[in-house]
Amino acid sequence: MAEQLPEYRRPWYHRWAGLLGEPRRRWRALDEKQRRQANVVLKVLLVGVLFYISWPLAILIVILFAANFLDPYIPRRTPWARRALIPTIIAIVAITYPFYNGSLSEMKLFGAYPDVNTAVIMGVYVIMAIGLNIVVGYAGLLDLGYVAFYAMGAYTCAWFASVQFAKHNVHFGATDVGSTTPGIHINIWLLVVIAGILTAFIGILIGLPTLRLRGDYLAIVTLGFGEILPQVANNGDNLAGFNLTNGPNGITPIDSPGIFGTSFQTGSGAFFTGPRLYFWFVLLLVAITVFCSLRLRDSRLGRAWIAIREDETAAAAMGIPLMRTKTWAYATGAFFGGVAGAYFASFKSSTFPNDFNFNISAFILSMVILGGMGNVWGVMFGAAFLAYLNQEGLANIGHALNQTFGTHLEVPLYQFGIYGAIIVLVMLIRPEGLIPSARRRAEFHEGVHDTPLYDAQHE
Amino acid sequence: MATDARRASFSWIGGIRRAGLAPAVGTTLVVLLLLWLSVNLAKTPSNFASVALEGVTLGLVYGLIALGYSLVYGILELINFAHGDVFMLGSWVSFAFAANRLGLGAETSGFKVVWGLGLTLLVAMAFCGLLNVTIERLAYRPLRNAPRLAPLITAIGMSFILQDIGLNRLGPAPVSVPNILPTGAVFSIGGNEYRWSSLIVALTTLPILFLLIWLVQRTRQGKAMRATAQDQEAAAMMGINVNRTISFTFLIAGALAGVAGLLYALYSTNIRYDQGFQLGLIAFTAAVLGGIGNLPGAVLGAILIGLIQQFNEGLSWHAPSSQWTQSIVFAILILILVFRPEGLLGERTPEGG
């Protein structure tokens, strides 16, 4: 009875489960030197496991660890070198990926390395996860309807770059679309930006009435919006006689983006193939997103978000306008959701209402949670990893397991259960995620006052 | 209402609220709804009556689920997302036990149906209650002092896990349940039959609801539950075993979900692995509509939601039909949460918000 009052006691199974994370008490008991040693042991273990799975992956991690280790030895006069070292390594590895991914040998358990199309999808999910991270990780507002923004972006792209509105005939900078093709055809890059802005606007519209609510109520309201929008899309083939979304048949095909008159669908020559172009441009989008996200985090607005997350009452007392700040978080997160949705729709050349159910919201949320709420690098890792699992990994793992044990389990069928298990395990064992931000970790371990000022119950 | 000073700094939202826009919109909506209902009543009175009866029946089943949400929310302030999936597994257990183990079917004789279903009810209640307690023990209790959103996120994860257990057991396609209850008409209104199965379902829920209210309001254990809901620390100091009380609450909520699972399987004769998510959210809406944490409110809200759903799907004059049901229910949820978060019955949550 009394024992549960000051701080929760970890149940017995956490002792074993803790092996996966850092058993907190034991960790605290170590002194500085022992901690460093433990860190080295953990890293060696990680590299060993990766070596078993696939040596190129292990070498990449070793290089990153080495870069991290060398960091203090770079002369102080060259701050750009210190800041750019690890990103440069990652950028080179990523940009050249289409050239060497075919020659990599298969991973143990995980099978072949993801192909370039999968990598594009991973990139799109990274953008979405970073967008959700702004809402959930920075501002601490749980959004269970993030898929609504993704849907908004996708449908914006679909409306203005397909034959959906065949009565009109509008062409503006579209690549590889004959000028007699009916429908509205606008340049995809323009549409990506328009979709982002429109979605941000929707985010503000949804946010204004709802952001007064406290945490869990807000989660439910966003969930409600996230459920309504796909149903509207599904029933939208006959809204008072007007075919807005083409209903369950979806809108397809959608124009492809282009650059210098080269459509991404066809590509140009053996070097600039379509998938490669998609891949490089999604990398560009990811880079822009990461840059914006990091700069936002350190801006006045970002610090206000973090202050609200940690203690709403104190933040309000310090003069932070709660509603405006939260609405900005919503709008920014929605913007990236819209951008990702528009690019994804163009990549898949289709949108269907079934792409936008609650499961996808929870899927993106589990990316953020797995990687580490609030930390862009962690979220990127979580998103890329889970998107890869979703596309190829689970099928490969299932195949490998079935071959090893002679079972007939359809692993991809249970994908959402697996993501659910990931969510539960991460929340129980390592609530700050795999690659946490130091600040978030402290919050989860020490607890914060999160009694909100705007309490719906008191209104 | 000590919030005036706060409102001053965000004056334009406060302004809208002070100007009475929200009540005006709400009143208009309710008036339009009543108008639509009365036109329907005038046009096809018999259809209206039978649809209303079905709505109340469905609402009572929703009520059982909504009570589970309300009980848990009242005591832990946790929206137990997994509850809907516990209900789904309750349907599965009832189906597996009644139809496969006991071999109940459409042709089974009356006496066997009575004891068979009674036994199934006990099995489903025990299974779901224990399942719910286990979930609480494993997934929620370790997070009791964590930031508020942590257990909510865990609950979503648990919901997915349970859903996949259901997927594994039931398969991806809907499973049809035999008509164990008699399907003949009790009475008919203008050609629309009210079936025995509906009546039995409705009549089963009522004693359970009264039993629950008696349990919470009159017994010692119920007192402990209410005390824990109000203030866990103070309750612990008064000698209440808080952990056990919370476990007991989850047991009760799970048992209710088990009853609902059985009744829903009998009523709809169709179960699916993902019914828990949809119906769970509908029931949650009902709990919010009535005032979450408030037990009679949950039942009232559930009956209203059941009526709204049946009216929407069954009425003939300008009804949006079933493809919009979900949107309507969620729109109600959003409107209630935004404009009247304390729900219809106007009570605050037991701990006072």
* Nearest-Cα residue of chain A relative to residue B148: A450
For residue B216, CA distances in Å to B86, B207, B219, B293 come to 22, 14, 6, 12
Q: Which helix (H) or strand (E) holds B231?
A: none
**What residue spans define the domains of chain B?**
45-174+187-339
Q: Which helix (H) or strand (E) holds A74?
A: none
Distance CA A2, CA B99 (A): 47
In A54-162, which ranges are continuous DSSP H helix? 55-70, 79-95, 97-100, 116-133, 147-160
Band of the pLDDT at B350, cuts 50, 70, 90?
Answer: very low
Structural fold of domain A96-458: ABC transporter involved in vitamin B12 uptake, BtuC (1.10.3470)
Q: A221-233: per-residue pLDDT in tens?
A: 888 888 888 888 8
B236–A5 C-beta distance less than 8 A:
yes
B96: Cα within 13 Å, side-chain hemisphere: 12
Question: What pLDDT shows up at residue B15?
Answer: 47
Residue pair A96/A346 in contact (Cβ under 8 Å)? The answer is no
The mean of the pLDDT values for chain B is 82
CATH number of B45-174+187-339: 1.10.3470
Bridge partners (DSSP) of residue A46 are: none
B294 and chain A: CB distance < 8 Å anywhere? no
Show Cβ contacts of residue B121 under 8 Å, excluding neighbours closer than 6 positions. B94, B258, B259, B262
Distance CA A23, CA A26 (A): 6
A141 and chain B: CB distance < 8 Å anywhere? no
Query: Contacts of residue B277 in chain A, CB cutoff 8 Å?
Result: 358
* Nearest-Cα residue of chain A relative to residue B343: A457
Distance CA A315, CA A330 (A): 18
Q: Which residue has the higher pLDDT, A5 or A458?
A: A5
Query: Contacts of residue A325 in chain B, CB cutoff 8 Å?
Result: none
Distance from CA of B269 to the nearest CA of A (A): 25
Percentage of chain A beyond pLDDT 90 is: 12
Q: Is the model's pLDDT at A453 over the cut of 60?
A: no
Percentage of chain B beyond pLDDT 90 is: 19
A10–B333 C-beta distance less than 8 A:
no
Q: B104-145: per-residue pLDDT in tens?
A: 777 777 778 888 888 999 999 999 999 999 999 888 888 887
Q: A135-160: per-residue pLDDT in tens?
A: 988 888 888 889 989 998 999 888 88
Question: What pLDDT shows up at residue A454?
Answer: 44
Distance from CA of A340 to the nearest CA of B (A): 24
Token pair in block for residue B27: 């009143």
Mean pLDDT of the region B53-75? 89
* Nearest-Cα residue of chain A relative to residue B163: A417
A248 and chain B: CB distance < 8 Å anywhere? no
Q: A232-255: per-residue pLDDT in tens?
A: 888 877 777 677 777 777 787 887
Query: Contacts of residue A11 in chain B, CB cutoff 8 Å?
Result: 137, 141-142
Phi first, then psi, for residue A172 (nearest 5°) are -150, 95
A210–B338 C-beta distance less than 8 A:
yes
Band of the pLDDT at A25, cuts 50, 70, 90?
Answer: low
Percentage of chain A beyond pLDDT 70 is: 84
B165–A417 C-beta distance less than 8 A:
yes
Is the reported ipTM for this assembly greater than 0.90? no
Query: Contacts of residue A365 in chain B, CB cutoff 8 Å?
Result: 153, 156
Q: Is the peptide bond before A182 cis (omega within 30 degrees of 0)?
A: no
Q: B66-113: per-residue pLDDT in tens?
A: 998 988 988 888 888 899 999 999 999 998 888 888 877 777 777 788
Distance CA B49, CA B38 (A): 12
Q: Is the model's pLDDT at A3 over the cut of 60?
A: no
Residue pair B267/B61 in contact (Cβ under 8 Å)? The answer is yes
CA-nearest of A4, A453, A32 to A214 is A453
Number of A to B CB contacts under 8 A, please give it: 179
Q: Which residue has the higher pLDDT, B278 or A72?
A: B278
Strand pairing of A258-259 and A262-263?
antiparallel
**What residue spans define the domains of chain A?**
1-91, 96-458
Burial (Cβ within 10 Å: 0-12, 13-18, ≥19) of residue A314: middle
CA-nearest of A87, A141, A78, A117 to A305 is A141
Token pair in block for residue B54: 């079905």
- For B56-96, give the DSSP string: HHHHHHHHHHHHHHHHHHHHH----TTHHHHHHHHHHHHHI
Q: Which helix (H) or strand (E) holds A170?
A: strand A169-172
Q: Is the model's pLDDT at A187 over the cut of 60?
A: yes
Question: What pTM did the predictor assign?
Answer: 0.85
Residues 41-100 of B with CB under 8 A from A: 77-79
